[in-house]
Each structure stands twice: as C-alpha cells, then as structure tokens.
Chains A and B, each alone.
Chain A
C-alpha cells in the first residue's frame, strides 16, 4: 500500500510541475503583451511601461522568471489581481466555498439518483424501465447545460416563479460568513427563512450542474453492474439463498463500485468545467464565474493563478480517487 501511494505521488509531482509551467507559459510566452493589455485603452508612457516591465520581472530570462514564479507558487504567492489589487490566493479561497458547495450538491444529487437508477436498470436489463432510463441518460449526457439552465429558468423561475434566477441568497438576509457554505451559515445565523432561501437558490444550479455527472454515473453503474452480475461469485451469493437486495446491493454493487468511483472522481473535471457555465448563468459568485470575469477583464494574474489552482485541485482529487480505488479494491490494498 505504501509503495502504491509513493508511486502515485511520484507521477503527481512532474504533472504538477507541468501544470505550473503551462499556467506560466500561457501568460508569458504566448502572443500579447500583458502590460499593454493591463493598461487597457488608457495607454502608457514609455517610462511607466519600462517601470512595470521591470516590476513584473519581464526583463529577466524566461527560466529565471519561471523559477521565481514557481518558488512564489510554492510559498502561496500567486500574484495580485490587476483589478481588485488583492492577492489571487485570497480571492480564490474567498470564492471557493461557493463553488464547493454547489459542486458537492451537484455530485450528491447525481450519485443519489444515478447510482440506484443504474443498479435498477442493470437488474431489469432489457425491460421497459431499463430502456427508458438509458434513453433519458443519453439525453442528459448530450445536454448543452447552458441551454438546459435557460429552459429551467423559463419554466421554474419564469412561468412558475418558484426559484430565484441568480445569486446564493435573498438580499434581505445578512449574516456573517462562517464556513462559506450558505446552507450551514444560514442555519447558524438563526434567521427565519434564510435556510429556505439558500436551498431555493441552490436547486436549479444543482440540477444543471448535476445533469451530466448524473447521466454518466447512471450509465457507468449500469454497465459495471451488468458485467459483475454475470460473474461466478454472484451465482455463489445467490446459491447461499441471500435476498436479491443483498446480492445486488452488496455483493454486486461493491464490485461494480470500483469503476464507478473512478468515474465519479474523473467527473470533478467535468464538474468544474460545468461550474464555469452554471455559475455564469446563475450569477453564482464562485471560482467559475470569477475565472470567466477575469478572462474578460484580461486580469492575467487571476487567470494564471486560477488555472493553476483549479488544475491542482483536479489533480489532488484524481490522486485521492486513485488512493480510494486502492482502498476499495483489495487486490491493490494487499500489494505490499
């Protein structure tokens, strides 16, 4: 197990270095002078330009620049936003809970529906439920979620007036952010209706963001279950006279979970990509919207830092999934 962990970590480091290099290269190497861009339409005097040029260290050779960037990153210095003048690191962690809350809700929604649906479809292979579910899953999988979001807004916010169109909380409520999770903070605040408001704001974004993972999980669960159900050990379990619930839900699902966990882990990337669209549409103040806004404002340190942090997060999650995979799969766990 230790060796397994070490080998995973060993592939992690060069990838991390590569991600840092790419985030660095995007801004420094590709065409476009960041200083001119930063200055925008106002223009710059020659002296001011030269001063900024030195200030950002652009006068140094590229490897030196990268080395400075890398050491900065490792000390938690990702630069300062051109627009807000606040450290990128601080901005990221101020907005991150919003994205985390939304993503967690979405993935819980996707697992809570997708997993049982996939199991039931596999057990009832070829029957009406299976076919209906798999068709629905394929539609979900093919869904342009930005359009899906607009449709839901038309129906639930426009026609029915049930859900708000944007934000995380009605403006009439105000309370300090303790955890950054609205669901928790609103409860802690003790204000009447605050929690309900948080839930109402979460519903549509959760559905939108959870749709594709839900479809993927349902499909993956079904195919993994189908494979497992034809295994000899399932016959053994049934030969013991165990109930179908125990055979399917414990003996089969436990084995089918191994590929499904991988898929759930890999959907973190999908989720963050989806968060960009979802947060933009619902004006959800998270890192997805922050990235899009920064890209439009040409706030390069933010784009650069955000890119690096998001990629690092995906890598950490993938690493965690690998480790989890080892824990759930006794064959890897036992390898010494």
Chain B
C-alpha cells in the first residue's frame, strides 16, 4: 500500500474541510470584521505609493505641526495634519503599513519555517537531540522576548532588518514547541504507523504524512505571531532600536512625536491607532481561526 490512493481520496475531502472551516469562521462576526480590516491593511500596504498623497519624507517647511483637517487650523491639503518636520501624516501612515506588513510576513515566515523544522526534528529525533533542542528553546524563552530582541539589535546594530531577525528568533521557540507537541501526539496514530510500515522514508513521513495534520495550531500561532511581530517591531522602533528615522515606521513615528504629546495630540494618536487597529484585526482573525480550526472548542 502506498500513499497515492490516500492522496486522491483526500482532494475532495480537503475541499470539504475548507468549506467547513469557512462555515465556522463566518459564524464569528469579529473574525470576519478582522478579516476585512486586514484585507484593507494588506491593500494599503501593497499600493502605498499609489494611495499616499505625498512622499512620506517630503517636508513642507511652512506647514509644520498642522492639525487634522477637521480641527481648527487644519487644511484638507493634509487630512491628518503634519508632523513637526512638516511631513504629511496620512502619507506616512500609509507607507507605515508597508513596513508593518513586511515585518509581519518576514518574521512569520522565518520564525515558522525554522520553528516547524526544529519541531519536526525534535519530534522524530532520538531522545538526546530532542532534549537538546527543547532545552535550547527553554533558554530562549527564559528571556523576556522584547529584552532579548533589544539586546540582539543592540549588538547587530539598530535597523529594521536586524529587528526582524531578532523578533523572528525570539518568536521561533513557540513554533518548535507547538510542532513537537502535535508531532508527538500524531506519531503514534494508526495512519502514521501504516505509512511507516508501507516503507515511507523519514523525510516523507515528517513532511508529507505528519506535518499536514499538525498545521491547525501552527496556523493560529502564525496569526498571533504576526500581530506580536508588528507590536514588537513598533516597540523596538519606539525605543530607537528598530527602523531609523526618517523611515515612516509606526513605532518610530511615535518615538519622534514623543516630545510633542502635550502640544500636538495627532502626531501621537494616529500612529498608535494604526498599530492598535491592525493588531486588533489580526488578533480577531486569529481568534476566529482558532475557533474554526480547533475541534475541541467547536460547538457540536
């Protein structure tokens, strides 16, 4: 017996599972709203140069710290006002979405692929290797993530790239733990034993037989670490260890605006709102994903 008939049989089944997933996901109103907001966010990130009215670094020296259009003294030329250097807030926020999206994608891809690989190895490896990997993950998890990222960035040099590397490294143990836990529970199942008896080689067993069945919690974790990555990158930017000015990264924008908080509320409020709304939308989606994918919480 080979896995081929199994693969053929799985095609319609997988579609059914997708439909079922969508059915449960759609029931969760918050998750759907989150999905829409996230779609807008992705759209803005992809087409930022087309959407933004100005270049994000262009300085309008005669109109610094202009309030938003609807406030007294505001102008529709700068709908969300300008920052202390006379740059258009709206354009900067729109471009900021790019950086946050980029950070999220890169961090999730790096952390997830590294973490899944290590987790699979730990789950299939002999005891000593498993213990070694897991102890190593314990060590990383012992450091508060932001602190570890901060120190890493300090050593590597402050930049958005280094911030992403640091955050990915810090988030990666969660994937290792999750993957290993699911692998361990799947490994003894009949279908895995059957594949092994049928002579499937280890890599096939790991990636084709077992991994697809461990994906549900990993997908949820991916959504959650997407938002964590955005938050941490913004926090690093805020501390001056992430993206460097004049990059219109939301956290960096907040750091630049700090000294004006009591004079110009808009330079502080809008970047924060952008971070909060994005992170909230992703977390809403993550909750919906978890409810729809986790059979334990599924209503029977």
Which residue numbers of A lie inside 8 Å of B, CB to CB?
A: 11, 14-15, 18-19, 21-22, 26, 30-32, 135, 138-139, 141-144, 146-148, 150-151, 153-154, 158, 269-270, 272-274, 276-277, 280, 291-292, 295-296, 298, 303, 307, 310-312, 314-315, 318
Contacts and interface: CB of A to CB of B under 8 A. Distances in A.
Given A144-B231, A148-B272, 4 more contacts: A147-B276, A151-B268, A269-B141, A296-B240
A51 B138 CA distance: 38
Which of A144, A158, A314 counts the most chain B CB atoms within 10 A? A144
Interface in B16-47: 30
Contacts of B198: none
Which of A19, A274, A291, A311 counts the most chain B CB atoms within 10 A? A311
Contacts of A147: 254, 268, 271-272, 275-276
Contact of B262 (A158, A273, A315): A158
Interface residues of B, number: 45
A15 B135 contact: yes
Chain A, interface SS category:
helix
Contacts of B154: 295-296, 298, 303
Contacts of A307: 143, 147-148, 151
A14 B135 contact: yes
A315 B135 CA distance: 13
Contacts of B268: 147, 150-151, 154
A25 to B, nearest CB: 10
26 contacts: A11-B135, A11-B138, A14-B135, A15-B138, A26-B155, A30-B155, A30-B156, A135-B30, A142-B279, A142-B283, A144-B251, A144-B279, A150-B254, A151-B269, A151-B272, A154-B265, A274-B146, A276-B150, A277-B146, A291-B147, A296-B240, A303-B154, A307-B147, A307-B151, A314-B142, A315-B142
A3 B148 CA distance: 33
Contact of A141 (B240, B265, B283): B283
B111 interface: no
Given A150-B268, A277-B146, A303 B151 contact: yes
A298 B241 CA distance: 13
Interface string B223-242: 00001000100110011110
Nearest to B148: A307
B254 A153 contact: no
Nearest to A139: B280
A276 to B, nearest CB: 6
A19 B279 contact: no
B284 interface: yes
Interface in B265-300: 265, 268-269, 271-272, 275-276, 279-280, 283-284, 287
A295 B227 CA distance: 26
